[in-house]
Structure 1
Amino acid sequence: MTWKDSLKNNVNNVEKLKAFIRISPEEERDYEKITKHFPISSTTYYLNLIDPEDPSDPIRKMAIPSIGEFDMDGDFDTSGESQNTKMQGLQHKYTTTALLLSTNKCAMYCRHCFRKRLVGTNTSETLDFIKEAVAYIRDHKEINNVLITGGDSFLLENEMIEAYLQELITIDHLDFIRFGTRTPVVFPERIYSDQNLLGLLSKYSKLKRIYVVTQFNHPNELTDEAVRSVQSLLDHNIIVNNQTVLLKGVNDNSETLATLINRLVKNGISPYYIFQCRPVKGVKNQFQVPLDEAYDIVENAKKLMHGHSKRIKFCMSHETGKIEIVGKFNNEMLFKYHQSKYEENYGRIFSVKLDANQAWLKPENVVNN
């Protein structure tokens, strides 16, 4: 059975969910309403990680719908992606980086997804689109790296992945290519069982450095199978980085967070960022942790980490740029632009006196006075 055959067994309705968790009649009614707006889909592998006796299980929170998804406080496009879209499927927000939205497909629809507005919609995967996007990148010599994401870029057919690589490796001013994927976490067999995929990644990594950027959010996700998928990438000369999202009820605990990051390093995965959860509609009030509390969680976690784990940066992907949450000083919180949409903000340090329970920076907080 191939990985595509396995995906056919995905749990994509409430009735199928009953095989994995207990669902009350009231929950069933709520889930049916939610999934009409925000679809459900998960691999059986990932659902089997849930403790069915624990309603607060962290894997359950990331995979199973909640009535809180009807809370429309927030925004669907918190990072201004629409403003930075140059053509279908291509974003260019930061000077040196191009982002390719290669597909809207995922092996598992995360309930905290910041692209919730796109989940489950149709996507166009054509070579014509690739060539148009590559032409843009070729013409913009300031771009030195590309992130192929989605959705999940490893849900593309191998032929499509190779089509991207064939085009991108011919651009001299690109230093490296990244694939954004959660398949090592939610669908590891996609990687370790597919020698064709591993072979083509190995082939092209000799011509242009390839990175995989994934998202482990809880130690329970680092199963033997997940580690096997990561090791198969490492064995084929692919560097694996991780971006964790700080999520209420999942990893908003210093010991949990430190355990996760230390285990990532132990298994050859380089911790990259811890991200503040974005204020997305249907996500914000379920998963966001107030900034003041979030900063303390991350700092206390660092006390339990070794040097390699402490390379992480705690950031938010704001509309104006990637902003690092640096520290506290005189009842204010310090921030620094790690990446910026606007040149004048590069490296700028600023402070904000936060409102009670404030979990995101407001437009007036980031004005350069």
Structure 2
Amino acid sequence: MKNNISKIEQLEQYILFTPQEKKKIKKVIKSHPMLINQYYMDLINWNDLDDPIRKMIIPSSEENRFEGSFDTSGEQENTKLRGLQHKYSNTVLILTTNSCMAYCRHCFRKRLVGIVADEIVKDWKLVVKYICDHKEITNVLLSGGDPLMLANDRIAGILQKFSNIQHLKFIRIGTRIPVVCPDRIANDDELINIFRKYSCEKKRLYIVTQFNHPREITSSSIKAIKKLNNAHIIVNNQTVLLKGVNDNPVVMAELQNKLTEIGVVPYYVFQCRPVKKLKNIFQVSLYKAFNIIEETRAMLDGFSKRFRFVMSHKTGKIEIIGRKNDNLYFKYHQAKDELLANKIFHKKLNKSDCWLDL
């Protein structure tokens, strides 16, 4: 942690800023902190101004723009207790921390990561009681921030609490640690033993990570994934479609193929959300995004194309399933209102539309 980069002055050994650029980026960092660990910094090709890793982690002066929303998926309205969201009947999402090993510039929780802890769980007894009182809940998603920023004893304690709730069938941990700091997993046998202990036949443990570019798959990340697989952990991946990072079918296909090769299940590709201070930097129009995904799938075998291309909308997870002329076809993969579950609909959009207005 001591070599982490959090100030623009530390970046000046890599990037030459004009005084005006420096002033603008300082303003960005004041609102949305920068944090980059040395491992992830070393993945950047500093000779390439358009390097995709650089774009995901280095602040841009464009983050000073205010279009969009800080809550595009309705997290506030789905919060039942501090730190607990219940949007879909059988799933609860728990915000365990507001910390990450590295602060991604495309983060959809820019409102809280590295800033405030007001939305993070404070009373775990209330969380456990809520889940016990709602027998329809079959699974828990631990999120944040990054849950693997917590100390091992805290992770074990959380898993222990849920292991005794009979109607819970599985637990997911959403983490980018295998991508940005794989040694946290690869070199920590205590953590692996905790995972092995709590991932059993009656209550399976899943890791859901986020690889967005093939260059994030390194010998270190492969070692971390292997450690997880050997501990009977199934690893799924949620890629975000990002302009200037992976909005190219060849790049996206290479990513999904490599993930399958190393033992990671391609789970979702997400349309980038219209989050304030990032939508203008990372969003691709829905028409273009659909074409990218279709061209990607044409290059993949059946296993590598298992992912669904979805947007995490306030009304649910909406899959983009087809196009006919100017109409895009959609299906509710998950719906907040259960009456909308599996509903198929179509809309004619403007060429520049990046999100659905429903």
TM over 0.5: same fold?
yes
2:86 aligned to which of 79, 89, 92: 92
2:347 aligned to which of 341, 345, 352: 352
Separation in structure 1 between the aligned mates of residue 307 and residue 267 of structure 2, nearest angstrom: 5
Q: CA deviation at 1:31?
A: 1.6
Question: Structure 2 vs 1, CA of residues 126 and 260 (structure 1 numbering), >3 Å: closer, same or farther?
Answer: closer
**SS of match in other structure, 1:161:** helix
Paired AA for residue 219 in structure 2: D
2:176 aligned to which of 178, 182, 194: 182
1:311 aligned to which of 306, 314, 338: 306
Tell me if 1:275 matches 2:280.
no
Q: CA deviation at 1:28?
A: 2.2
Separation in structure 2 between the aligned mates of residue 222 and residue 126 of structure 1, nearest angstrom: 30
2:40 aligned to which of 27, 37, 46: 46
Structure 2 unaligned spans of 5+:
none
Q: 1:19-168 residue pairs with structure 2 within 5 A?
A: 19-123=13-117, 129-168=123-162
More moved, 169-178 vs 201-210 = 201-210
Separation in structure 2 between the aligned mates of residue 255 and residue 22 of structure 1, nearest angstrom: 31
- Report Cα offsets for 1:76-133 as digits up to 9, x if no partner: 1000000000011000000110100000000010000000011212437999622211
Question: Structure 2 vs 1, CA of residues 346 and 121 (structure 1 numbering), >3 Å: closer, same or farther?
Answer: same
The question of whether the paired residues in 1 share the 8 Å contact of 2:83 and 2:121 is answered with no
The question of whether the paired residues in 1 share the 8 Å contact of 2:4 and 2:37 is answered with yes
The question of whether the paired residues in 1 share the 8 Å contact of 2:75 and 2:85 is answered with yes
Paired AA for residue 98 in structure 1: V
Separation in structure 2 between the aligned mates of residue 22 and residue 92 of structure 1, nearest angstrom: 46
Q: How many pairs align?
A: 357
The residue that corresponds to 2:188 in the other structure is: 194
The question of whether the paired residues in 2 share the 8 Å contact of 1:276 and 1:316 is answered with yes
The question of whether the paired residues in 1 share the 8 Å contact of 2:94 and 2:121 is answered with no
1:220 aligned to which of 210, 215, 221: 215
Tell me if 1:204 matches 2:180.
no
The residue that corresponds to 1:263 in the other structure is: 258
Question: Percent of counterpart pairs with the same letter?
Answer: 51
Question: TM-score, normalised to structure 1's length?
Answer: 0.94
The question of whether the paired residues in 1 share the 8 Å contact of 2:140 and 2:172 is answered with yes
More moved, 281-290 vs 122-131 = 122-131
Separation in structure 2 between the aligned mates of residue 224 and residue 167 of structure 1, nearest angstrom: 34
RMSD: 1.5
Question: Structure 2 vs 1, CA of residues 70 and 125 (structure 1 numbering), >3 Å: closer, same or farther?
Answer: closer
2:293 aligned to which of 295, 298, 303: 298
**SS of match in other structure, 2:206:** strand
**SS of match in other structure, 2:76:** helix
Question: TM-score, normalised to structure 2's length?
Answer: 0.97
The question of whether the paired residues in 1 share the 8 Å contact of 2:141 and 2:171 is answered with yes
The question of whether the paired residues in 2 share the 8 Å contact of 1:321 and 1:339 is answered with yes
- Report Cα offsets for 1:200-242 as digits up to 9, x if no partner: 1111112521000000000010011111111111111111000
Question: Structure 2 vs 1, CA of residues 44 and 335 (structure 1 numbering), >3 Å: closer, same or farther?
Answer: same
Q: CA deviation at 1:33?
A: 1.6
The question of whether the paired residues in 1 share the 8 Å contact of 2:32 and 2:115 is answered with no
Q: CA deviation at 1:25?
A: 3.6
The question of whether the paired residues in 2 share the 8 Å contact of 1:127 and 1:163 is answered with no
Tell me if 1:285 matches 2:280.
yes
The question of whether the paired residues in 1 share the 8 Å contact of 2:327 and 2:349 is answered with yes
Paired AA for residue 345 in structure 2: F
Separation in structure 2 between the aligned mates of residue 321 and residue 125 of structure 1, nearest angstrom: 21
The question of whether the paired residues in 2 share the 8 Å contact of 1:131 and 1:167 is answered with no
Paired AA for residue 74 in structure 2: G
The residue that corresponds to 1:324 in the other structure is: 319
